[in-house]
Structure 1
Amino acid sequence: MGVALLGSIESGFIFAIMALGVYLTFRILDFPDLTVDGSFATGGAIGATMITAGFAPFLSTVSALLIGLVVGAMTGILHTKGKINALLSGILSMIALYSINLRIMGKANVPLLGEDTLFTQIQDALSALGDYGLLLALAIIALVIKFINDWFLHTEVGLAIRATGNNQRMIRSFSTNTDNTIIIGLSISNGLVALSGALYAQYQGFADVSMGIGMIIIGLASVIIGEAIFGDRSIVRATFAVIGGAIIYRMVVALAMQVGLDPSDMKLMTALIVIAALIAPRISASYKERKRKAVRTKNREQQMVHERGEVKKHA
């Protein structure tokens, strides 16, 4: 397996964790949460800063997850208790987090070169597997999170979150506090996003204050591509699709880089991928509907011809 392909799959599993968080808000909770761009960088900032301060990589990564939970809850509180529009509450959190992330890091960039990270520990522990040790570890981490997510969404709280995204008025009629379900959903989502940010910072060897820019688009691309290719008929299948979509997205990006596309064009390419993934199913559905109409029209014409023939026979 080529180095570029291997790297794209590894980073795909890291971004899959972030995409699972995006899936939770956009598909399950039906909440357009733009906090993602800020919370991803917050996870990287917390993880990198704690590691350079001498904390254990595992503790630093878990701390990023916990801070992400708090960040998501704050967005939920702004929306539910502050009665701020869902889109605007995410934007406000994202803007505020930019300054907070700078405060956490103390500068715009925190390098991790020469530091002991979660991935150096994993590579040392799985050195017998060579280049595939890290890939295996990342696959296991992403799948464990996926299965925990699946389990949670089938619990009483998880079902309440799903019902809130489907029909808030209906679930409120059953005495469910939808404010709490929204806050919990946003908290878990941004916790996963921050965890992904901490892992990615350790994977690439540095945390940057702008590393979260465009993450919401990457998350959406992963969700949409995965659903278009693998389907979303159940939660279990949909979360598998999200992971697959994230890996495919990273592989497409790696291929684009290999054919000579400029790195500055990556955001444009991501936007085009999302647009194509959104439009393609509609075009396909429209084509199939036209085809079905043509078949029905042809069948009616044949039936009419047959009926005329029968009439002539009896005449």
Structure 2
Amino acid sequence: MNLLLSVYGATAQGLTWTIFALGVFITFRILNYADLTCEGSFALGGSISSVFVVGLKLNPILSLFVALLSGLAAGAITGLLHTKLKIPSILSGILTMFGLYSINLRIMGQPNTSLVGNKSLIFMIKDKLPTAAELGIMDFILQTGVVLLVGLIFSLIAIAFLYWFFGTEIGSCIRATGNNDTMVRAQGVNTDMMKIAGLSFSNGLIALAGALVTQTQGYADVGMGQGVIVIGLASIVIGEVLFFKAKNFAIKMLAIMCGSVIYRIIIALILRLGLDTNDMKLFTAIVVALALSIPNMLKNKPLFARKEVKPPINVTKN
């Protein structure tokens, strides 16, 4: 029973993190851009959501939209640093992430904020449902069910929107820029604007994910974005390994959602085996490294394999 509850909770948690993985997918796979802004924009979304719910007592759904807009701005700043000021991609993301740390502290006014006792999105939905006692179930099952439903709805909406957007002319230009920006530039497309747009959309989704995760887990922390890019990469890689034959863009994004859920289930099972929580990041790094390297190793031929020598072709002259 406890094992099933752990898997149940991990599934709900994985769905709430799907939007974050989709944001990382835009930069990592589509733009072919190593962006570290995500660690700052994720915490930015969480900070804004906590202030709206706890400090301003405003509608938690409104905080999601504000977090999305703030993430768009953060991504645009990274894009401007890279395209207009010619700062290398990794460094431009680090600079934005570094600046966002202070901004997040300014927004919250303290290192962390608890949402317990305040009307978060999960609280609002749960309040409209029958109580756990009336349903004859544990409160954990009811609350986790609400989190699972919210995560699933937001994930499917994000996947549907991205599928539509990247099928438009602008979305196709962003995808082409990631594949071959020189060729796209030769067609008269402003590749700098495409990179800025891609980074904005990516970090907008990531900030939205930060706000959503904050409302589901019940607190925000200024350091909640530290190392999250590895979690996003793990979700992407696991999904790609399981659905390596997928060619359809929508299937690829659904694979990321499955990868996010599977990653969380793996973590939950590992924790049940008694692994120290302090070793989680090391374990995640090993999983990502193996998942990235194994497909490439399988494609390569053995190092000491014997090469077949083809017999020479005899050419007869008339």
1:23 aligns with 2:29: no
1:105 aligns with 2:108: yes
1:76 corresponds to which letter in structure 2?
Answer: G
The 3-state SS of whatever aligns with 2:113 is: strand
Q: Distance in 2 between matches of 1:189 and 1:205?
A: 24
Tell me which residue corresponds to 2:296: 282
The 3-state SS of whatever aligns with 1:222 is: helix
Residue segments in structure 2 that go unaligned for 5+ positions in a row: 136-140, 312-318
1:214 aligns with 2:227: yes
Q: Distance in 1 between matches of 2:33 and 2:266?
A: 28
Rg larger for: 1
The 3-state SS of whatever aligns with 1:165 is: helix
Is the 8 Å Cα contact of residues 150 and 235 (structure 1) preserved in structure 2? yes
1:162 aligns with one of 137, 155, 175:
175
Residue segments in structure 1 that go unaligned for 5+ positions in a row: 302-315
Please list the CA deviations of residues 195-219 of structure 1 after superposition, one character each: whole Å capped at 9, or x if unmatched: 1100111111100001000111111
* Aligned residue pairs, count: 296
Tell me which residue corresponds to 1:305: none
Q: TM-score, normalised by structure 1?
A: 0.89
Structure-to-structure mapping, 1:261-272, within 5 angstroms: 261-272=275-286
1:213 corresponds to which letter in structure 2?
Answer: Q
Q: Distance in 1 between matches of 2:115 and 2:5?
A: 21
Tell me which residue corresponds to 2:251: 237
The 3-state SS of whatever aligns with 2:275 is: coil
RMSD: 2.1
Is the 8 Å Cα contact of residues 122 and 134 (structure 1) preserved in structure 2? no
1:195 aligns with 2:212: no
Structure-to-structure mapping, 1:161-180, within 5 angstroms: 161-180=174-193
Tell me which residue corresponds to 2:73: 70
1:140 corresponds to which letter in structure 2?
Answer: I
1:256 aligns with 2:276: no
The 3-state SS of whatever aligns with 1:110 is: strand
The structure with more helix, counted as a fraction of residues:
1
Is the 8 Å Cα contact of residues 126 and 133 (structure 1) preserved in structure 2? no
Q: Distance in 2 between matches of 1:144 and 1:30?
A: 24
Is the 8 Å Cα contact of residues 26 and 33 (structure 1) preserved in structure 2? yes
Tell me which residue corresponds to 1:311: none
2:170 corresponds to which letter in structure 1?
Answer: V
1:61 aligns with one of 45, 60, 64:
64
Is the 8 Å Cα contact of residues 70 and 204 (structure 2) preserved in structure 1? yes
Is the 8 Å Cα contact of residues 47 and 201 (structure 1) preserved in structure 2? yes
1:119 aligns with one of 110, 119, 122:
122
Q: Distance in 2 between matches of 1:120 and 1:284?
A: 48
> 1:137 Cα deviation (Å)?
2.8
Q: Distance in 1 between matches of 2:150 and 2:122?
A: 9
